[in-house]
Amino acid sequence: MTSHPSFVRFAGLGLAVVLLGGFTPEPAVTSKLRSTASATLAPGDVAPGRLFARDAREGVGPGLVSVSNPTSPQPLAAPAVPETRRSKSTLLHVAPGSAATQLVLPITAPEDAWVMVIPKGSDAKVGEDALRDVAMFDPRGLRADVRAARDASAQLGADADRLKADGISKPIAMLRLNREMGQGLYKLQIGAKAAKVGLAVEIREPSSSTELAITPSALQLSPDAEGYVTVGLDSAVPLERVKVEATLYTPRYERDRTVPVVKVGKEYRAMVSRVLTDRDEPGTWMVEVHATGTAGGQTFDRLEQTAFGFVVPTARIASVGSERLVRNGSGRVEALEVDVVVESQGLDRYEVTGTLVATDGKGVERTVAEAQVTDQLGAGSHVLTLRFDAGHVGLAKLGGTYALRGLQLYSLGTNTLYHRLNRGLEVHFPAVRVDELAAPQMTPAIETMLREGAFNVRE
């Protein structure tokens, strides 16, 4: 890794060029800056809509830092897409301080099913006592927890005597059901002592065909963009009386507000963006989706959660360009540079990152170096220069026309991503041979990577 020696805040492109005294920028293939305004978004791209004028209060501080790093010549990773999370389980709660009560556990597929009875809190001993105050009965009214606990312990393989000798005899109730116990509504009797402690009761039915699947519409949402969580319910048997509810949790996992759910065709959508505004804190929010109803006449209950990023963007990448080769006095290429114009509406410590790729003999783009430039910027238009150390670029021995990929703008004040252009607006540097590139400054990290063959091109 090498750092740009300058620690001076760039005021503009002109100043940037002045600071490059001693190096000769080669005439660029194209000197114009490409605007992001008309850019077509590729999969995984993130683009801010409206910018908000607010200053970051944390994680800010002055000083420009410019860093270049070599990378292993690997193909570019596939763009990240929102994950689908699936559930054949649910979770019921008895709040701490409750009175003795009875829970009804809907079991549609008892074979391989588990019921976990988990005391609330952090005191193992209190929880252990609470569990002695809980009993489970199958749909026929027969006591089922003793047999189910024995089956679970047998699978765990724990030495009960050994645990008891260490003061632990029943740290958690894991109940293993079986087909003979039957499907239907089980009853969990919770005595006064257990109810006072509070319980979480998880039901897992891996053999059930009824599955809840939820997928955010995007990896991150912003106040001006429509965003939702798609809710799907699959089952081998007809589903009836289906009810879907959604709840938002803050980045601190605090239960926050209800999310409206609409039905669109066969699926449901939890309309998250309708309840979030720019007054909400940026970060990673979570949505809990709860689906109930009947499956083939049997009551089912499913629960799943997912997360999404929520940003209130204060800046964007406005344009990119003026890519150039910087040569030293002997004609060797010292660096590959490209300017990134950042438009900001508020004070923050902004970070621009880009990855340089080369194309191998088979036409596969492989990463060769990455560069990052960070500075504290206020409202206005600013030029930040990504500087790829030519020594790093040459380690993979892949020459030719290098391209900029994975261009992104990140806010260190809010730890959120504001802008990402995976294709980097198709910035390509002038063609250069590997032997034109300056030798790398060796570091222990580069020596280790060379020793381990990290720069070898692998199929």
Partner 1 sequence: MHLHSRTGWLLAAACAVFLGAGSAQAAVGVVFVHGTGDQSVSSATSGYWTQSAIDTMRNGRPYLIIGYPGATCAGYSQCSWGPIVDQIVPWMNANSITSFTVITHSNGSSPIRYMLGHTGAVSANGNTVNSVTSRISQVIFSAPDLKGTPLANQVTTSGSFLNIANSVVEFFGGGSYNNPAVVQQRTDNMSVYNSNGTFAGGLGATTVGGKPISVVRGNRVYANLFSSDAHCAGYLYTIGLKAAALLGWGSFSAATDGFIGSDSSGYFGNIIIDDGRLNHNQSRRGCHNSGYLIGQKVASAPIPAPGSQTYAPETNVQAAALACNNYYSAYATDYMTDHTVWKYGCSSTMLNNGYPEPDCLISYGYSSSYRIPSTASWNPFLNPNNYPIYSEVCPDSWQGDGICDACLVAKYGFDATTGSSGANDCVQAPPGGSNWCGDLAYDTYWGVHNYAVVQALH
Nearer to partner 1, 234 or 447 (CB): 447
Nearer to partner 1, 294 or 372 (CB): 372
> Shortest gap between Cβ of 27 and partner 1 (angstroms)?
30
> Shortest gap between Cβ of 291 and partner 1 (angstroms)?
15
CB 121 within 8 A of CB 197: yes
Nearer to partner 1, 11 or 445 (CB): 445
Q: How many CB atoms lie within 10 A of CB 95?
A: 9
> Shortest gap between Cβ of 19 and partner 1 (angstroms)?
17
Q: How many CB atoms lie within 10 A of CB 329?
A: 9
Residues 6+ apart with CB under 8 A from 406: 76, 353, 354, 355, 370, 420, 422, 424
Query: 226, exposed or middle or buried, with CB in 10 Å at 0-12, 13-18, 19+?
Result: exposed
- Alpha-carbon distance of 310 to 326, in angstroms, equals 39
Residues 6+ apart with CB under 8 A from 362: none
Residues 6+ apart with CB under 8 A from 454: 72, 448
> Shortest gap between Cβ of 155 and partner 1 (angstroms)?
6
Q: What are phi and psi of 147, to 5 degrees?
A: -65, -40
- Alpha-carbon distance of 31 to 78, in angstroms, equals 30
Q: What are phi and psi of 99, to 5 degrees?
A: -85, 165
> Shortest gap between Cβ of 395 and partner 1 (angstroms)?
10
Nearer to partner 1, 289 or 327 (CB): 289
> Shortest gap between Cβ of 82 and partner 1 (angstroms)?
8
> Shortest gap between Cβ of 28 and partner 1 (angstroms)?
25
Nearer to partner 1, 93 or 243 (CB): 93
Nearer to partner 1, 161 or 435 (CB): 161
- Alpha-carbon distance of 393 to 65, in angstroms, equals 19
- Alpha-carbon distance of 434 to 394, in angstroms, equals 6
Nearer to partner 1, 269 or 392 (CB): 392
> Shortest gap between Cβ of 80 and partner 1 (angstroms)?
3
303: helix, strand or coil: strand
CB 172 within 8 A of CB 201: no
- CA 178, 181, 185, 191: dihedral to nearest 10 degrees? -90
Nearer to partner 1, 315 or 327 (CB): 315
